[in-house]
Amino acid sequence: MAKRVSLSGNEAVAYGMKQINPDVVAAFPITPSTEVPQYFSQFVANGEVDTEFVPVESEHSAMSACIGAAAAGGRVMTATASAGLALMWEMLYVGASMRLPMVLAVTNRALSGPINIHNDHSDTMGARDSGWIQLYGESAQEAYDNLMQAIRIGEHKDVQLPVMVCYDGFITSHAVENLEMLDDEDVKKFVGVKREAPFALLGQDPISMGPLDLPNHYFEHKRLQAEAMKNAKKVILEVAAEYEKLTGRKYSFFEEYKMEDAEAAIVVINSTAGTAKFVVDNLRAQGKKVGLIKIRVFRPFPAEEIAEALKNVKAVAVMDKADSFSAAGGPLFTEIRSAMYGKVDGKIITNYIYGLGGRDVRSENIEQVYSDLFKAIETGKYEIYNYLGVRE
């Protein structure tokens, strides 16, 4: 039976890791993800898990150790944030190309420079094309639930890819919330006792992993990697359906909030969705037809499903908590606009860069975005590329 607890996002993830009891955790601490390996190392020291905990001297080494352990066939997890994720960069690509289903909890934090320890999504958005599946969570509950599902998604025989479980630094990682945790036995049954590892260095058949791969084979390996990412879409929904039976909590590629008859909609990722839902409720009480889409799965990107969800709105504002510096919009905006092109044409679609480096996002900021959308619907005039809450 599930139990109700009050935990921060980092505590929820660390306790979830304890329930999963992975074979290996290799980690190097970095704010605001430090608490995850801190709490987990205590579980190891107390004998509450039989995990091999590997403290290393850098995040590059942490991911390298994880890759080695996963290649041997182990179930492997770690955590990081910001510059720590950037220091893993080379190894992220290695792990994904070797088709190793590790799980990495990322406490989203701004990426230098200048140095900033607060929340935005520049770290994981920078890693969006590294070949890792990316799941995002609004709350401690969703961070915990995504962690459980990440194991099953990544280890599925048709996927065999690593998974990032992303949640907002300090906002979600350190704020204490009420959530429901599964019983240890339910977790064991859901994730399985052992990792499904059809290819592993310690298996019966000798194999080579991560060798030199010149023009005669490299392209084919990348093509197989892309196919695995496509396969992940079906698996993500299957695992979510099974998790819903276990918990009653429903997950999909994204959450639609009051979108049934929405004329103006916002698309957003992670904790800002909570503020946006508050604004949607207030505006709905005033008779305004507004809605919200909260992205959960960014890789693989659910392009067709997003286009379908936005087909009836008149105007969309995509909110990016990271700037791509393309001078043409943030990373989420370019994905959404590309998804709609040729399938849902004739819509007003705008982009707002917001919250960089932890800049607070208030309900009046979200109200301003909806107000801008209704003005655009009325006048047909609008700016595509906007900054929200910045001093000009």
Q: What is the pLDDT of residues 37-72, one digit of tens each?
A: 999 999 999 999 999 999 999 999 999 999 999 999
Quote the tokens at residue 303: 């392009």
Distance separating alpha carbons of residues 391 and 111, to the nearest angstrom: 20
Q: How far is CA 270 from CA 108, 144, 309, 338, in A?
A: 10, 14, 18, 21
Q: Identify residue 278 by its one-letter amino acid code.
A: F
Task: Say whether pLDDT at 129 is over 90.
Answer: yes
Residue 229, H or E segment: helix 218-247
Token pair for 55: 């403290």
Cβ proximity of 381 and 315 under 8 Å: no
Q: Are 111 and 83 in contact (CB under 8 A)?
A: yes
Question: Which H helix or E strand runs over 133?
Answer: strand 133-137
Q: Report the percentage of the chain scoring pLDDT > 70.
A: 100
Residue 358 gets the label, from left (phi > 0), alpha (psi -120 to 50) or beta, of left
Q: Cα angle at 148 between 82 and 28, to 5 degrees?
A: 30
Q: Sorting pLDDT into bands at 50, 70 and 90, what band is 208?
A: confident
pLDDT recorded at residue 210: 86
Residue 291 has pLDDT above 80, yes or no: yes
Provide the pLDDT for residue 198.
87
Strand partners, 298: none
Give the whole-angstrom CA distance, residue 140 versus residue 174: 9
> Taking the model in full, what pTM does it have?
0.97
All domains of the chain in start order, with CATH: 3-247 (3.40.50.970), 255-388 (3.40.50.920)
Decide if pLDDT at 360 tops 90. yes
Residue corresponding to tokens 């991560």: 210
pLDDT, one tens digit per residue, over 313-356 is 999 999 999 999 999 999 999 999 999 999 999 999 999 999 99
Inform me whether the pLDDT recorded for 1 exceeds 80: no
Section 361-369 average pLDDT:
97
- What pLDDT is attached to residue 327? 93
Q: What is the tens place of the pLDDT at every residue in 234-248?
A: 999 999 999 999 999
Q: How far apart are CA 62 and CA 83, in angstroms?
A: 13
Q: What's the CA gap between 343 and 284, in Å, rounded?
A: 28
Sort strands 103-108 and 163-168 into parallel, antiparallel or unpaired: parallel
- pLDDT tens, residue by residue, 160-169: 999 999 999 9
Burial class (CB in 10 A: 0-12, 13-18, 19+), 387: middle
Share the mean pLDDT of the chain. 97
78-110 per-position pLDDT tens digit? 999 999 999 999 999 999 999 999 999 999 999
